Structure formats: structure tokens, C-alpha cells
């Protein structure tokens, strides 16, 4: 599917953009969470129960859930989630968008995914594989379907007719009679087959079958590495979040103590010349300044005091009461300076 997407963009059928490239690479990642027996049953074309069909249909949703929280991959996750949604409103998910409301990348993935399955059955992206899709053409965006067909369909060689159907080129380029058990007697030029090998190539010899199996294993390894990376990222994020939630109690207590200490100092009750963090505590005409404040405490104290007086953080007056602006101003790890003047002190200064 990835190489098919590359051919479509390189031929100018669709604009090249990185979201489609990633979506094509990760479209089937959800199947890694499904039972192996179910996936094998699907590829073998065996009938499945309603429950099995429902489980298989959940693969795009699983893939979307894995990808959706990765920065900048929101559109990729949406395209993968809707890759089985038919242009006519059929398919997963029920009640989803219809027609042009379906993201274009999802409409492209729908055609490529179904074509890939048809190729697995037929052996090459030619008239017969597209004929399988023709029977359900209402499920595809007609413009996208025609462009993909024009780009990927492999025509018969010039001057070749049905009498040549008893021969088939192999991986070594030599025409040999078709193996009756191979399931197809369709001639495919080597160069053309290489161009669309990203979708499938029909293994007419033992070497071809081994090459096809090798490609599938390689794709599985890439997908496995990708999903492992996603899980590791998620685990790392959870660990960081847990650390942030579990470690601050001591800082929160100290921050509350510093707030109380500064409020008492504003009332003239100064018990020490140092603050609870060991830095200086200076009081003059109702103005209180503390230094050597850790960043986490700086943010917490500033958020509280900025609502009750004029506050400067590291020499800059805090004018915007937002978590982002306060976090940016508390930019030192352990040496922030806060200067606070309660509104009551400001009013007295103005009266004098």
C-alpha cells in the first residue's frame, strides 16, 4: 500500500503530503491487536461469524486510538479510522461521514486497501482485480477510483492476445508455462510488476513466493517496531505524569507556607529575615520580596498572589493571569525572585 501511494504521488495523480504517506504505512497497524487466527482466516477468504467480522472491523479504531495522541498525527488517525467507510455511507463506522465529507486520504486508503485484497486473490492489479472492485464501485469516490485505476492498472502487452495466456514471465524474465495450481494465467511484464510490487506481486515461482513472504515479514517487523515505539512513548508519558503527581506534595506544602509567610509579612508580622526556601525575605512599605524560589513554587505562589496584589516575577510585572504566561516568567529552576504589593498597601500609598 505504501509503494502504491508513492506511485500515485510521483505520477502526479494526487498531491504529495506527509500525512498520506504515514497513513498508508500505519493503515493496518490495528490488526496487530487481533487474534492471529482471525487475521489468517480473513486473508484465506474463509467465512467468518458476525462476532469475528465485528472484531475485524474494529482494527481501524484500534489503530486510530494508538495514533491519535501523537502530536501532529490527528489527521492521520482520522484517515485510518475512516479507511473502511464507503463513499455511499456503507462500512465502518455506522453513522459516519458520507461522500465528500469523508477525508480524502481515507477515501484513497479505502480504494488501495480493497485493491490490495483483490490483488491477493487475483495476483496482479489488472482488469480482473479492478473488476472485483467494480461490483461495489458505489463504495469508492469515483474520481479517486478512476485515477488509481489509470495509474496502477497493468495493460496487456502490445500485440499480445489470448493465445499467449498459456505463458507467464517469471522472476528471471523467462516465459514459462503457468502452473495450473498458481490460480492465474495473467501475463505481467517484469518492469510493470516491480512498479506495483508495493500492492502485491504474483509469485509464479518458488523464488517469487519466498520474496513475497520476505516482504510481508519485513512489513510486520516495521509495524511491530512502530507499535512498540508508540507504547513506549505512552508508558514514558504516564511515568512522567505519575512522577509529577506523586512528587509535588512537599513543594505544595512549602508553597502554601511561603504564601502565608508573605501575607503575614504584609501585615507587619515578620518572624524571620529568610523565607521558607532559605532565600531572603525583604519587607519595605508594604512591599514584600523573596528570592531563591524553586520554579514549581514560583508558579503556585504567583498564581495565588497575582489575584490579590501587584506582582513582579524576576523583575517583570505579571500582567496576564494565565498559567502559560506565569510559567514562562518563572524561568529559573531554583532562583526565581517574587516581589508582591498587596492591593491594600497600594491604596494606602495613594492616600498618603
pLDDT digit string (tens) for 162-181? 434 444 444 444 344 434 33
User: For the range 183-192, what are the long-range contacts, defined as Cβ-Cβ under 8 Å and sequence gap of 24 or more?
Assistant: 183/123, 184/122, 184/123, 184/124, 186/122, 186/123, 186/124, 186/126, 186/128, 187/156, 187/157, 187/160, 188/124, 188/126, 188/154, 189/154, 189/157, 192/154
DSSP 313: E
CA 31/CA 223 separation, integer angstroms: 10
Could you give the 3-state DSSP secondary structure of residue 89? coil
Considering the domain architecture, whether residues 19 and 118 belong to the same structural domain is answered as: yes
DSSP symbols for 150-169: HHH--PPPTT--GGGGGEEE
- What's the structural domain count of the chain? 2
pTM (2 d.p.): 0.43
Whether residue 146 has pLDDT greater than 70: yes
pLDDT (0 to 100) of residue 102: 92
Please name the residues in contact with 246: beta carbons below 8 A apart, sequence gap of 6 or more.
none
pLDDT (0 to 100) of residue 16: 58
CA 30/CA 84 separation, integer angstroms: 13
Whether residue 289 has pLDDT greater than 90: yes
239, 245, 250, 254 alpha-carbon torsion, rounded to 10°? 130
Asked whether residue 245 is assigned to any structural domain, the reply reads no
Residue 168's nearest CA partner among 289, 160, 329 is: 160
Reported as a single tens digit per residue, the pLDDT across 59-97 is: 888 888 888 878 888 889 898 889 989 999 988 888 888
Considering the domain architecture, whether residues 53 and 98 belong to the same structural domain is answered as: yes
CA 9/CA 147 separation, integer angstroms: 11
Reported as a single tens digit per residue, the pLDDT across 176-205 is: 443 433 333 333 333 333 333 344 333 444
Reported as a single tens digit per residue, the pLDDT across 248-270 is: 443 445 788 899 989 888 888 87
Considering the domain architecture, whether residues 52 and 104 belong to the same structural domain is answered as: yes
Residue 38's nearest CA partner among 25, 53, 22 is: 53
Asked whether residue 177 is assigned to any structural domain, the reply reads no
Residue 113's nearest CA partner among 198, 217, 47 is: 198
Residue 307's nearest CA partner among 255, 259, 257 is: 259
Phi/psi-derived region of residue 314, left when phi > 0, alpha when psi is between -120 and 50, beta in every other case: left
Average pLDDT, the chain: 72
CA 241/CA 230 separation, integer angstroms: 17
CATH number, domain at 49? 1.10.3210
What kind and span of H or E run contains 249?
Answer: helix 249-266
Considering the domain architecture, whether residues 125 and 83 belong to the same structural domain is answered as: yes
Strand partners, 313: 316, 338
Considering the domain architecture, whether residues 151 and 199 belong to the same structural domain is answered as: yes
Asked whether residue 319 is assigned to any structural domain, the reply reads yes
DSSP 302: H
Residue 265's domain comprises: 250-351
CA 273/CA 275 separation, integer angstroms: 7
Amino acid at each position: 500500500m505504501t509503494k502504491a501511494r508513492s506511485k500515485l504521488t510521483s505520477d502526479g495523480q494526487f498531491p504529495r503530503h506527509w500525512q498520506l504517506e504515514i497513513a498508508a504505512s500505519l493503515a493496518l497497524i490495528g490488526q496487530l491487536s487481533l487474534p492471529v487466527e482471525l487475521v489468517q482466516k480473513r486473508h484465506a477468504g474463509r467465512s467468518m461469524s458476525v462476532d469475528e467480522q465485528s472484531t475485524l472491523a474494529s482494527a481501524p479504531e484500534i489503530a486510530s486510538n494508538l495514533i491519535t495522541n501523537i502530536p501532529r498525527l490527528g489527521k492521520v488517525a482520522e484517515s485510518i479510522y475512516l479507511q473502511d467507510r464507503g463513499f455511499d455511507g456503507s462500512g465502518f463506522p455506522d453513522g459516519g461521514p458520507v461522500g465528500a465529507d469523508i477525508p480524502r486520504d481515507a477515501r484513497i486508503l479505502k480504494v488501495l486497501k480493497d485493491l490490495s485484497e483483490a490483488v491477493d486473490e487475483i495476483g496482479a492489479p489488472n482488469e480482473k482485480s479492478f473488476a472485483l472492485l467494480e461490483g461495489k464501485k458505489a463504495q469508492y469516490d469515483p474520481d479517486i477510483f478512476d485515477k488509481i485505476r489509470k495509474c496502477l492498472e497493468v495493460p496487456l502487452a502490445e500485440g499480445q492476445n489470448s493465445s499467449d495466456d498459456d505463458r507467464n514471465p517469471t522472476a528471471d524474465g523467462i516465459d514459462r508455462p503457468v502452473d495450473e495450481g498458481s490460480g492465474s494465467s495473467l501475463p505481467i511484464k517484469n518492469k510493470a510488476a516491480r512498479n506495483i510490487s508495493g500492492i502485491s506481486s504474483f509469485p509464479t515461482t518458488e523464488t517469487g513466493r519466498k520474496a513475497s513472504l520476505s516482504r510481508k515479514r519485513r512489513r510486520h517487523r516495521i509495524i511491530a517496531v512502530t507499535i512498540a515505539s508508540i507504547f513506549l512513548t505512552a508508558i514514558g508519558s504516564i511515568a512522567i505524569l505519575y512522577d509529577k503527581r506523586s512528587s509535588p506534595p512537599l513543594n505544595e506544602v512549602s508553597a502554601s507556607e511561603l504564601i502565608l509567610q508573605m501575607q503575614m509579612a504584609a501585615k507587619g508580622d515578620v518572624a524571620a529575615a529568610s523565607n521558607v526556601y532559605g532565600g531572603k525575605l525583604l519587607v519595605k512599605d508594604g512591599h514584600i520580596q523573596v528570592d531563591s524560589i524553586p520554579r514549581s513554587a514560583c508558579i503556585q505562589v504567583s498564581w495565588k498572589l497575582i489575584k490579590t496584589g501587584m506582582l513582579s516575577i524576576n523583575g517583570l510585572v505579571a500582567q496576564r493571569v494565565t498559567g502559560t504566561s506565569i510559567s514562562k516568567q518563572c524561568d529559573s529552576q531554583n532562583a526565581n525572585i517574587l516581589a508582591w504589593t498587596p492591593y491594600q498597601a497600594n491604596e494606602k500609598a495613594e492616600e498618603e
